Amino acid sequence: MLLFHVSEEPDIPRFYPRLPARRDLDPTVGLVWALDEEHLPNFLTPRECPRVAYRMDAHTTPEDAQRFFSPGSRHVVVIEHDWFPAMLHTVLYLYAFQPEGFSLQDATAGYYASTTAQTPLSCTAIPDIFQAQFQRKVELRLVDNLWETADAVRHSTLQWSLCRMRSAKPRP
């Protein structure tokens, strides 16, 4: 198993722990963040792009599967229309790490963290974000506003993630 970090920076030779901004974490302990491959599609967007990502798991009801997924789909990333140009023109860089030195922080989100500096094994450019998502069998959806989708998945049996919602359009 490898862990990954997605960045818009092409040349990070070493990742150093940074103090977290999240209020649920100790603000005095710096962390290097990574994620597992299963959750990687949730981060294959420009960094500040607001998004709702969700996927099926063993707890997903047949009703939610029918309501939220197209036939054959198991993972969806929803973005606002306004972010389409950035998705087309942003190059992402995928850094890979050995899992040693990282500990699981959130199994639902696939987040891992390390309190020590980490050197990536490799860095791969992703010049076409759409193709990278499609290769991973992810369904991409574009909507005018994310809040209806966000509210719906919060009250579902899906595994979900709301990212960068502070950058989303206001609620209608």
pLDDT in tens, 95-131: 999 999 999 999 989 999 999 999 999 999 999 999 9
The whole-number average pLDDT for the span 140-152 is: 98
Q: What is the CA radius of gyration of the chain?
A: 16
pLDDT of residue 21: 86
Give the residue numbers spanning the domain of 151: 3-167
Taking the C-alpha atoms of residue 75 and residue 3, their distance in angstroms, rounded to an integer, is 19
> Does a structural domain hold residue 172?
no
Mean pLDDT over all residues of the chain?
97
Q: What is residue 62's three-state secondary structure?
A: helix
- Does the residue 130 lie in any domain? yes
Q: H-type helices in the chain, by residue range?
A: 62-68, 84-89, 129-135, 147-154
Q: How many structural domains does the chain have?
A: 1
Q: Is the dihedral of CA 33, 36, 39, 44 positive or negative?
A: positive
